[in-house]
C-alpha cells in the first residue's frame, strides 16, 4: 500500500534513496532453475546509469549490482532474489543550498505535505535514482520473457518537436539519444546540447512496441492489460501522458475508420490494420502493442528560479549538481523494465488459468 511494491504473482519491492548507503529491490516469484548472473542485470543497469554520454547527467555511479539471495550455482531456487546497489557518488553538499527550498517541479513540497518530514539531500523516493531498481528487476523479467519470444522495443520518437521519421530498430542503441532514426538523432542531440547550454531542459516522446505477445493476455474490467501498463508506465515520474494505438488521434476518428477488420493470414485470424494497438477489450490480440509516452522536461535546471522555502519566504534558487537536460534516453530502459515486469506478471496469471485444462492461445 505504501507504494513501493509492484506485481501480483511476480512481485517486487524496491527501497533506497539517492543519498543513503544503498538502493535495491527484492523480487519474489522468480522461476526456479532460471539461469541468472549479475552480468545479466549489470548490462541493463549500464544502459540506464548516469554519465553514459554527453547528453546525460555527468554524475558518476558505477551502479554495480550484487545478488544477495535466491541464486545458487547460477540458477534461481524459487526463493526471493534480492539485488543491492551501493551508492557511491553521494555529494550531499550539492544540496546544502536547497535544503529548505521547494524546488519548482520537484516533489519537495508534496513529500513534506504528505509525511511532515523530508530528506533534503535529494528527492528521496521521488528521485529518478529509484528507477535503477526497476531496471534491475526488469532485467530478471526479460530473462523470463526470453523463451516466450516476446520482444520489447522502446525508442525516442521525439525531442521537443524534432521527430524520428524513418524507423529502424537496429540503430536505437547506436546513438546516444536512443532514437530509431540515425539521421534525426544528430538533430535531437544538437537540440539537447543547445538547451543544456542555456541552463534549460526539454521534454520528448517515447514509442514502445511490444512484439510477440500471445492473444489472450490481460484481464477484464479493472485489470485490462492497457490499464495495468498505464499504471506501470505512468508511475515513471517524468511521464505525463500515455496513448495506446491511435491514442488521442482516435478521438477524431469515425468507427468505420478505427475498427480493424479481421482477415486471414497464413491460415490464422489477424487484423488488417492495427488502430487498436494490439488490444481489444483490454486483452491482447496477438498484434504489436503500440504505446506512446509523453515525457516532461526535467525539473532540475541550472537557471535561477524564484520560489518559496519552508518558512514561506520568497527565495531565488538554482539547482546545482549534475542533471539530465532530457530524460528520453535514460527512460528507455526504465520503460522497457516496467513493460517486462507487467508482462511476466500477466503471463503467470494467465498460466494459473490452465489449472483446469484450457491452454490459452
Restricted to residues 17-76, the positions that interact with a second copy (CB under 8 A) are: 17, 20-24, 26, 28-29, 31-34, 66, 68-70, 72, 75-76
- Phi/psi of residue 324, nearest 5 degrees: -85, 125
Nearest partner of 94 among 146, 59, 69, 54, judged by Cα: 59
Cβ-contact 76, 33 below 8 angstroms = yes
Q: Is 100 in the site for a second copy (CB under 8 A)?
A: no
Minimum distance from CB of 344 to a second copy (Å)? Answer: 8
Minimum distance from CB of 61 to a second copy (Å)? Answer: 16
Q: Is 124 in the site for a second copy (CB under 8 A)?
A: yes
Of 44, 61, 63, 119, which lies in the binding site for a second copy, with binding defined by CB under 8 A? 119
**What is the C-alpha to C-alpha distance for residues 4 and 12, in angstroms, rounded to an integer?**
8
Q: Is 121 exposed, middle or buried (0-12, 13-18, 19+ CB in 10 A)?
A: buried
Residues 197-226 that bind a second copy (CB under 8 A): 200-205, 214-224, 226
The grid cell for 168 is 529502424
Minimum distance from CB of 187 to a second copy (Å)? Answer: 15
Q: Which is nearer to a second copy, 170 or 252 (CB)?
A: 252
The grid cell for 76 is 534461481
Residues 225-284 that bind a second copy (CB under 8 A): 226-228, 230-232, 234-235, 237, 240-264, 267-269, 276-277, 279-284
Q: Which is nearer to a second copy, 170 or 356 (CB)?
A: 356
Residues that contact a second copy, how many (by CB under 8 A): 162
- Phi/psi of residue 272, nearest 5 degrees: -70, -45
Q: Is 161 in the site for a second copy (CB under 8 A)?
A: yes
**What is the C-alpha to C-alpha distance for residues 47 and 353, in angstroms, rounded to an integer?**
36
Q: Is 305 in the site for a second copy (CB under 8 A)?
A: yes
CA R_g for the chain: 21
CA angle 56, 62, 66 (to 5 degrees): 135
Residues 325-354 that bind a second copy (CB under 8 A): 344, 347-354
Amino acid at each position: 500500500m505504501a507504494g513501493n511494491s509492484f506485481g501480483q504473482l511476480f512481485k517486487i519491492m524496491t527501497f533506497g534513496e539517492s543519498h543513503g548507503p544503498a538502493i535495491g529491490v527484492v523480487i519474489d516469484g522468480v522461476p526456479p532453475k532460471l539461469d541468472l548472473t549479475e552480468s545479466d542485470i549489470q548490462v541493463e543497469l549500464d544502459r540506464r546509469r548516469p554519465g553514459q554520454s554527453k547528453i546525460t547527467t555527468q554524475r558518476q555511479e558505477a551502479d554495480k549490482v550484487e545478488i544477495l539471495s535466491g541464486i545458487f550455482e547460477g540458477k534461481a531456487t524459487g526463493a526471493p532474489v534480492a539485488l543491492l546497489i551501493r551508492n557511491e557518488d553521494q555529494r550531499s553538499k550539492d544540496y546544502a543550498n536547497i535544503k529548505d527550498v521547494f524546488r519548482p517541479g520537484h516533489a519537495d513540497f508534496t513529500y513534506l505535505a504528505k509525511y511532515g518530514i523530508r530528506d533534503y539531500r535529494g528527492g528521496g523516493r521521488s528521485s529518478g535514482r529509484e528507477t535503477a531498481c526497476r531496471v534491475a528487476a526488469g532485467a530478471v523479467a526479460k530473462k523470463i520473457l526470453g523463451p516466450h519470444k516476446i520482444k520489447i522495443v522502446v525508442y525516442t520518437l521525439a525531442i521537443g518537436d524534432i521527430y524520428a521519421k524513418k524507423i529502424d530498430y537496429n540503430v536505437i542503441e547506436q546513438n546516444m539519444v536512443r532514437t530509431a532514426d540515425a539521421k534525426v538523432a544528430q538533430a535531437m542531440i544538437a537540440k539537447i546540447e543547445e538547451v543544456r547550454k542555456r541552463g534549460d531542459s526539454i521534454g520528448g516522446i517515447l514509442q514502445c512496441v511490444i512484439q510477440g505477445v500471445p492473444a489472450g493476455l490481460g484481464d477484464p474490467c479493472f485489470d485490462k492489460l492497457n490499464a495495468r501498463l498505464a499504471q506501470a508506465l505512468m508511475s515513471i515520474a517524468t511521464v505525463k501522458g500515455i496513448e495506446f494505438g491511435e491514442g488521442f488521434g482516435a478521438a477524431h476518428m469515425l468507427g468505420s475508420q478505427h475498427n480493424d477488420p479481421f482477415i486471414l493470414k497464413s491460415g490464422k485470424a489477424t487484423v488488417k490494420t492495427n488502430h487498436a494497438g494490439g488490444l481489444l477489450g483490454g486483452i491482447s490480440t496477438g498484434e504489436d502493442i503500440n504505446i506512446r509516452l509523453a515525457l516532461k522536461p526535467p525539473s532540475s535546471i541550472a537557471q535561477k528560479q524564484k520560489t518559496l522555502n519552508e518558512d514561506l519566504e520568497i527565495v531565488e534558487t538554482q539547482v546545482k549538481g549534475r542533471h539530465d537536460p532530457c530524460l528520453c534516453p535514460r527512460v528507455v530502459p526504465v520503460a522497457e523494465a516496467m513493460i517486462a515486469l507487467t508482462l511476466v506478471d500477466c503471463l503467470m496469471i494467465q498460466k494459473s488459468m490452465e489449472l483446469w485444462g484450457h491452454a490459452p492461445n
